[in-house]
Structure 1
Amino acid sequence: MMNKEGRKETPTTLDSRSPCEWDRTMEVLLLLLCLMAADALEVKISPSPVIGLVYKDVVLHCNFTVQRSFKKEDVAVKWTMKKVVSGEDKPVFQFDGNYTSSYRQGSLVNPAFLPYGMASLMLSNVTLMDEGIYTCTILVMPQYGNGNIQLKVRAQPTVQLSPQSVMTAAEGEKTFSCHVRNFYPQRINVSWLVRKHGSTHEAPLSSDICTGVPSSHGFDGLFTVLSRVTQMVNETNNGSLYICEVQHESLKKPLRRNTTLLVTALRPYHQDTGFIIGVAIACIMMTGLCSIFVTIFYQQRLAKVEPQVSSIIKPDLIPVNEKIRLICNINGFRPKTIHVMWYRKHTHMASTEDPAREDIALSDVREDITSMAQQPLEANGRVYSISSCLTYTPTIKDNGAEFECSIQHSTLKSPIRKTTVVYVTARPATHYIFSSPQLPVQGEKLILTCVVEKFYPKNIDLVWFRNGHPVEEVTQFGPFPCESNFYSVWSQTEFTLTKDNEGAIYTCQIHHSSFGNVEELSYEINLQGTPPEVLWITPDPLSPVPGEELRLNCRINNFSPNLISVNWFRDGELLHERICHSVAVIGTNGLFSMWSLLRVTPEHGAKKTVYKCRVEHGALKECIERLYTLQLPTAFC
């Protein structure tokens, strides 16, 4: 299969893809220079990919070498950016020898540096929208060259650990919270460690840890995640250092936050009783003022407070057979005794022999799954809170299942129940476009097929476009069931190839809930063929020996159609014997590859000999030649 990324670009395609809004003067200048270009301009770019941090400035280096002096008025520079996912091309910056145009706000190439061979692009305040493949194109009459750089944008997380160091706690359970904010990409690792007082060894914590699913709620696309760990606190923990460690690809080393725990023993019960009696006596003696004090004290410290319960928090997408976390926050209650239960209720279905009817519900089953939840109790001032975190791995059978968080507390007449329904999705195992025939031929019919296999749920839309315009003549097969309750679908469009189809881009848009957005596959019509990539001649053996056979191998890759001419020469004379060509074999990308072998036997005292492999192909403007010089070591002469 051939696509836009697989084709080798030539200078004539440079301006054919120019956006319509580009300055017409620049467009004409680029076209004339491309047609006059005789030599390739050496362009050196930044090692790819370049990593930029969000809201920071980044420089994409592009240097070029010209074997003569020139002025900035002799140079034309163009920077474009291609989105990796959609393949969309966007202009970024251009300079036509006199005027500059910045299509992306904050982009700049300094024209004063051009006479020194420097055309680097500076992007200020980069965001995730700036990710893509940037192309630097340089035109210095009559030379032309370009280079590609991939820019990846990353955001470094900020970490906040609560409670802050140093903290004092009484014996019992204690919860530490680690808030990790504003990072990209989504993948992140949050771990917990503890270092005992007086020790230099850090031990990892593995139990009673609840780490949520990273979520993005802002327009900037950055992610946030919360991780909590609950520990039993006693005198053995006194002076211990608790550490939250965050690992992310934007960080050169892990980011850490820590807090020191100081444990205080509880006072004996009779001491508290004496204190309360003393306060009561003082209140009686102070009459009205004491009554007010007791009322305030009771309301703030002893009165029962009803819990405030949030809705169940769940991921936006729930992939099948992948672990998810459902979180229910219970805040601001007193006393601390509380019961939080989790239930799963799903419908058992019975199949029917009537294909026109859906499955029939038999019964509802309510299952207690509280054991799958972590429920650390945390004291927040004079009240208590719990962040109940249920960890669960859904299957397709759980699609439509209802999950319930039930809270019982002494302040409640009846339990508070929060419910949510889980709808699972499965991303397609494979999705691709293939053509029939594999090599397009002008005047013959071409069938393009978009295949999407093993997805869930069943609802899916496949829409075809030609150069951005909808295609009406489409035939769809499915969705139809495949293994393990998944679905597959095929969508086809067919047409007779004409000269007008050359370079047309057909796009299949896949709309499915498992993607979260639209997925696109593209196929570019190529009737002119793809020029071959000719590698350098390799000798076998590497060091030739007089009187022994030497095999010279010329490898030719990725060309179409398969009509190709390969000839060998010795000191300019065409050879006809001891030559072997392999059959051109088609690869998975729809392009052909082959090799050509020449056998020679070096003789004692032979002078330096130049062998040449010449490749001619319909997609080449001129032939490609590769040279090998045979010169025996002095010891053999």
Structure 2
Amino acid sequence: MERKLGTSLNPPVLFYFLLVSLPGTETLEVKVSDSAVKVVKEQDVFIPCTISGYGSTELDLQLLSVYWILRSSPVYIYERGSHIRMRPGSELLNTHLIRGNAGLYIPQVQITDEGEYTCAVTYNNGEAKGRCPIEVSVKPSARLVPSDVIIEEGTEREVTCHANNYYPEIIKFQWIKHLSVTQHVVLRQGVSTNEPLENEDGTFSTTSQLMLKPSMEDDGKKYSCIISHRSLGNSLVLDFVLSVKEWYSKIIGAVFGILAAVILVAGISCGYFIFMKKEPPRLSPITGSELLLHEKKATLSFQISGFRPRPVHITLYLKRKWRKRAEIYSWNSEVQTGSSAPRDTDGRDTTEMEQLLRNGETIVPPAQRQLQVEMVNVIRTNKRGISKCQCTIHITPDMHKDDGAELTVQVTHITLISPISESCRLKLMKEPPKHSPFSGAERLVHMRKSTLSCQFPQSFPEPTDITLYLQRKGEEQIEILCWKSGEKSLPFTVVSEIPEVPVATEPKREGPVSNGNGTNLPPAQRPLQVEMNCKITTSKSQRLSICQCTIHITPDIEEDDGAELTVRVTHSALRLLISESCPLKVNEETMLLVMDEDYRVRVGPAPRDPTDNFHERAITLGRLDGLENIALSPTGKLFAIREGKLYSGPVSSCTNQILFSLDRRIGRSGWDMFKFLSFDPRGLLCAVTHSGTVYRGPPPKDECNRWIGVQGAFGGECNCSDVDSVFFDPQGTLYAITSDGQIKMWVKPAETDSDWLDLGTALKERDGRNSPHVISFCPEGNLWWVSKAEGKLYKGPQPTQQNPGYWGVAMFLGQDYNRYKLFGFVDATFIQRIQNFEFLPELGKTNVEKSIIVNAKVYDNSEGSSTLMDTFSFKETIKEVSRFIHDHNIVFVEEAETTVMEAIPVIDLGRDSKISLDNNVTHRWDFTSTNERKITLSLEEHIVIESGKTIRMDASVQKAKISVPYKVQLLTVQGHTITIEGSWEGTTFYNLSATPGEIQGKKQT
């Protein structure tokens, strides 16, 4: 069974096109009430359910099925003309159904009719469903006791406000004292409210008391008890007027005796009702059993509430498949009750923790104790003696024995004629769900719709909610899309447009975007164009649903490059949160890179139609010459063989006829054995020898690494004697073009050429077109074809053996493309100029090396008779070398300005040798090549050489390597601003000093 759900921002035009071009493909939808349907007990109710999207004016009832379900129990079933009523009196009318009205009529609603109803519709192989909660209420009956309140001055009396036979349980009392016609005060002192007690019919009753001790000033004052409840439109107000009587001494004795008797009786009665009256327990359903893992400890819980006296007995039963129900656990609180039970001395609420041992230590026979169980009970008793017991069950189930078993909790109490119980079904999985990482995030292009996907296994039947988050650089994570179970039925699509910038002088206040799913975001936080579609496939045999999330985004390189996208899936049964994140690396538009007959390398956006003249608008990067074999990596780096050696360099280096200098050599002699070089989509180098041996692996980083047979693994043999070129498709499949114009595909590595499958039949019927001059795949998967004779350029979907058609759908894009010797696509970002540059010296690092001697001079006064005075001086020029390091796929075009004026990083001796910027001197730094800076070292120092001595003066300087992070803003050829970070690495010299040293000379006689 498959269902789809989706939320979207800015739906693509393609979606509208499909809806228009495919009539009769409307999606079946169900519309229910957006809010809960409220009804009073014993009234009739109609639950709406409207069917749409069935593509005709009337429904064919023989193709229609309608299921009304309350929680998990069917209420009404309509199955292709047959009516089955589970709830007496409920009704669906054929006259309504034929017009798409599947609303359910229920007469004389009872409390048991409350809950969430599901309207599930199946029509002509389409499925849809909607959920609508029904809230049943019962109005309370209210009264005051006593009705006439007369109190003697100086005495106390209680007034009781009764609320009887109401539903649901939550109710609010408020006591007020009227000071005048328009003023009143809320009373809080002397007010107490009892816990509601459940009646046999499911309704509740409770009371609230007001204790009054008035003075004569209160005589004639008006008091009110106000009752608020869901069933009431307006609150119930019960008024009474207080009458205060004066106190007379002559009747003190009589009154005292009467009052004493009354108080005694009232106290005994009140004490009985408040502290001694037995109250039966209420048992909640068992939670946490929806999804359990094989042989993993799991936690289930339930609650027993509202009972008095405190002793209670709890028994656990387990009924496995094909077995009788067996008692697996038993616990009695009475053994912990009495004088030994802990209780606060002031009688306030007490909490008792009963930590039970494993069921292996109970009185249960061993044969019935196969399920590992332990239970923790927390009992709370308030000052009126009402107890509540929170029970936690820890079980370690076995999938083979306990899957599908029924666990029952049974509670026995003195107030119960028979025990009460709750049961749940255990659902087990062998191992926890695993989710797949994001796919499709490897290449994102600026303002181009891209598709990402990830997979989340979830529990049966569907996730609780699926939320999409975005965190941009330097910003907090925000929620951008969300689907919540129960708020929208499957399938559904919601569209939210990107808001326009308001032109009014006052800020435009827009309501939060709701997407129909509760997502509340200011418009300024929703600039990323996103569409999310989720497909849920349910496996009944495994009780598992696979949620495939497909996310379509249109990223902006300036805003979204470096951001993190997160999908978060929650489900109540899992009791945990599952999420998957991926960083967004946004590139400029994929560029077409070519090399013409004059070896000039040019680049530009690929042509979109025949009028788009690529030849005129493409910019020149530089010039190549003298290269025997050229390959272009997916990141835009060039690899070439020259004189048997392998060289590598960025295309931005193409400023001379010879592209690569020796410092870019990455392979020594022997590379002339290869006939072809090519790169697969993952960036692996594929090299094919003249004899047909194929090697494949990461390209070498330097010439010290052996590539053949080490990094470049053997990939098979093929007959390439008639092959002119090889290339890869976006899936990594290797293709070849033969000398007679056929296209062949290499399916898998083999030792013969039998695995070369001929796809030439798909392209031989060319309607007079010539053999291919060059063929290339763009990253999006389209095949680009250049004919030999006229150089016509075509673009079309990749042909396969199953779907060999190409020319029927290929698009003509222009001609004269056979002038290009190299034809490929790169994702590199092409830079026009540097906009802003900043060194970050406080984050720099220093690696101090040995000091070096830059000058030395000997002063000989060994034979002198007097002291010699001299001056040690020198002036030397030394070279500092540095370069900018970055790990970004950027390319500076030939005419780009690649230099920037900036201060010089130096080691500041006054800051404990920390790195700082010398702002007194600036330097023009070249961002794309090695920087050399000449500095002059000079020193002048007076020296004194005594007679009979020889002195050597050594001038030394400290050498260090420093690394300084930087941040630079670059303007791309397309006019976008991007920010990249890296490190400037260089050598520096500091702390110049001269040190004298005595040399042994001739002694005077």
Q: TM-score, normalised by structure 1?
A: 0.51
Query: Which deviations, in whole Å up to 9, do the C-alpha atoms of 1:419-455 show, x marking residues without a partner?
Result: 7799999999996576344xxxxxxxx6685655999
**SS of 1:496 mapped into structure 2:** helix
**SS of 2:159 mapped into structure 1:** strand
Match of 1:508 in 2: 407
Q: Could you tell which deviates more after superposition, 91-100 or 56-65? A: 91-100
Query: Which deviations, in whole Å up to 9, do the C-alpha atoms of 1:468-506 show, x marking residues without a partner?
Result: 975667535565779999986544442439xxx9xx644
Q: C-alpha distance in 2, partners of 1:594/1:128? A: 43
**SS of 1:116 mapped into structure 2:** coil
Query: Does residue 257 of the first structure (1) align with residue 200 of the second (2)?
Result: no
Q: Contact (CA 8 Å) 1:463, 1:470: kept in 2 or not?
A: no
**SS of 2:183 mapped into structure 1:** coil
Match of 2:261 in 1: 338
**SS of 1:126 mapped into structure 2:** coil
Q: What is the percent sequence identity of the aligned residues? A: 18
Match of 1:211 in 2: 193
**SS of 1:69 mapped into structure 2:** coil
**Cα distance change, pair 552–136 in 1 and its aligned pair in 2 (3 A):** closer
Match of 1:62 in 2: 49
Q: C-alpha distance in 2, partners of 1:206/1:582? A: 50
Query: Which deviations, in whole Å up to 9, do the C-alpha atoms of 1:30-59 show, x marking residues without a partner?
Result: xxxxxxx99741101112533332222222
Match of 2:318 in 1: 464
Q: CA deviation at 1:70?
A: 2.0
Query: Does residue 130 of the first structure (1) align with residue 113 of the second (2)?
Result: yes
Match of 2:134 in 1: 151
Q: C-alpha distance in 1, partners of 2:33/2:88? A: 22
Q: Could you tell which deviates more after superposition, 47-56 or 594-603? A: 594-603
Equivalent residue for 2:143, pick from 160, 165, 173: 160
Query: Does residue 496 of the first structure (1) align with residue 400 of the second (2)?
Result: yes
Q: Contact (CA 8 Å) 1:552, 1:599: kept in 2 or not?
A: no
Following superposition of structure 1 onto structure 2, how do residues 597-636 of structure 1 map, counting pairs within 5 Å?
599-603=585-589
Following superposition of structure 1 onto structure 2, how do residues 289-308 of structure 1 map, counting pairs within 5 Å?
none
**SS of 1:129 mapped into structure 2:** helix
Query: Which deviations, in whole Å up to 9, do the C-alpha atoms of 1:159-199 show, x marking residues without a partner?
Result: 2224447x766655444332211112223222211113x45
Q: Contact (CA 8 Å) 1:479, 1:487: kept in 2 or not?
A: no
Q: Match of 1:524, as an amino acid?
A: K
Q: Match of 1:221, as an amino acid?
A: G
Following superposition of structure 1 onto structure 2, how do residues 128-277 of structure 1 map, counting pairs within 5 Å?
128-164=111-147, 171=153, 173-196=156-179, 198-218=180-200, 220-263=201-244
**SS of 1:106 mapped into structure 2:** coil
Aligned length: 425
Q: Contact (CA 8 Å) 2:410, 2:421: kept in 1 or not?
A: yes
Q: CA deviation at 1:243?
A: 0.3
**Cα distance change, pair 599–38 in 1 and its aligned pair in 2 (3 A):** same
Query: Does residue 45 of the first structure (1) align with residue 32 of the second (2)?
Result: yes
Q: C-alpha distance in 2, partners of 1:169/1:567? A: 74
Q: C-alpha distance in 1, partners of 2:586/2:412? A: 62
Q: Match of 2:187, as an amino acid?
A: L
**SS of 1:336 mapped into structure 2:** helix
Match of 2:934 in 1: none
**Cα distance change, pair 470–551 in 1 and its aligned pair in 2 (3 A):** farther
Query: Which deviations, in whole Å up to 9, do the C-alpha atoms of 1:536-564 show, x marking residues without a partner?
Result: 89897999xxxxxx998979799998999
Equivalent residue for 2:370, pick from 475, 480, 490: 475
Q: C-alpha distance in 2, partners of 1:228/1:435? A: 47
Q: C-alpha distance in 2, partners of 1:595/1:555? A: 17
Query: Which deviations, in whole Å up to 9, do the C-alpha atoms of 1:580-626 show, x marking residues without a partner?
Result: 999999984478543456644344989999x999xxxxxxxxxxxxx
Q: CA deviation at 1:208?
A: 3.5
Q: C-alpha distance in 2, partners of 1:568/1:169? A: 73
**Cα distance change, pair 244–493 in 1 and its aligned pair in 2 (3 A):** same
Q: Contact (CA 8 Å) 1:464, 1:471: kept in 2 or not?
A: yes
Q: C-alpha distance in 1, partners of 2:283/2:57? A: 60
**Cα distance change, pair 457–256 in 1 and its aligned pair in 2 (3 A):** same
Show structure 2 runs of 5+ residues with no match: 4-23, 305-309, 327-367, 381-389, 434-456, 474-479, 481-497, 499-527, 555-561, 590-603, 610-778, 782-973, 977-1005
Q: Match of 1:518, as an amino acid?
A: S
Q: Match of 1:464, as an amino acid?
A: L
Following superposition of structure 1 onto structure 2, how do residues 303-318 of structure 1 map, counting pairs within 5 Å?
none
Q: C-alpha distance in 2, partners of 1:562/1:143? A: 19
Q: Contact (CA 8 Å) 1:51, 1:153: kept in 2 or not?
A: yes
Q: Which protein has greater RCO, CA pairs closer than 8 Å, 6+ apart?
A: 1
Q: C-alpha distance in 2, partners of 1:255/1:520? A: 39
Equivalent residue for 1:111, pick from 73, 89, 94: 94
Q: TM-score, normalised by structure 2?
A: 0.34
Q: Contact (CA 8 Å) 2:172, 2:227: kept in 1 or not?
A: yes
**SS of 2:97 mapped into structure 1:** helix
Q: C-alpha distance in 1, partners of 2:428/2:286? A: 26
Q: C-alpha distance in 1, partners of 2:395/2:132? A: 35
Query: Which deviations, in whole Å up to 9, do the C-alpha atoms of 1:63-118 show, x marking residues without a partner?
Result: 111221224634634343344xxxxx322223345443322122122322223321
Q: C-alpha distance in 1, partners of 2:108/2:303? A: 41
Q: CA deviation at 1:124?
A: 1.6
Show structure 1 runs of 5+ residues with no match: 1-8, 12-36, 84-88, 271-301, 305-332, 342-374, 378-384, 393-402, 404-418, 438-445, 544-549, 572-577, 614-634
**Cα distance change, pair 537–117 in 1 and its aligned pair in 2 (3 A):** farther
Q: CA deviation at 1:567?
A: 9.5
Q: Contact (CA 8 Å) 1:190, 1:245: kept in 2 or not?
A: yes
Q: Match of 1:125, as an amino acid?
A: Q
Q: Contact (CA 8 Å) 1:136, 1:148: kept in 2 or not?
A: yes
Q: C-alpha distance in 2, partners of 1:82/1:468? A: 29
Q: C-alpha distance in 2, partners of 1:566/1:56? A: 44
Q: Contact (CA 8 Å) 2:399, 2:428: kept in 1 or not?
A: no
Q: Match of 1:601, as an amino acid?
A: N
Q: C-alpha distance in 2, partners of 1:120/1:47? A: 14
**Cα distance change, pair 91–447 in 1 and its aligned pair in 2 (3 A):** same
Query: Does residue 388 of the first structure (1) align with residue 270 of the second (2)?
Result: yes
**Cα distance change, pair 452–512 in 1 and its aligned pair in 2 (3 A):** farther
Query: Does residue 80 of the first structure (1) align with residue 68 of the second (2)?
Result: yes
**Cα distance change, pair 340–170 in 1 and its aligned pair in 2 (3 A):** closer
Q: Match of 2:232, as an amino acid?
A: L
Q: Could you tell which deviates more after superposition, 419-428 or 41-50? A: 419-428
Larger CA Rg, structure 1 vs 2? 2
Q: Contact (CA 8 Å) 1:562, 1:584: kept in 2 or not?
A: no
Q: Contact (CA 8 Å) 1:61, 1:119: kept in 2 or not?
A: yes
Q: C-alpha distance in 2, partners of 1:471/1:246? A: 47
Match of 1:101 in 2: 84
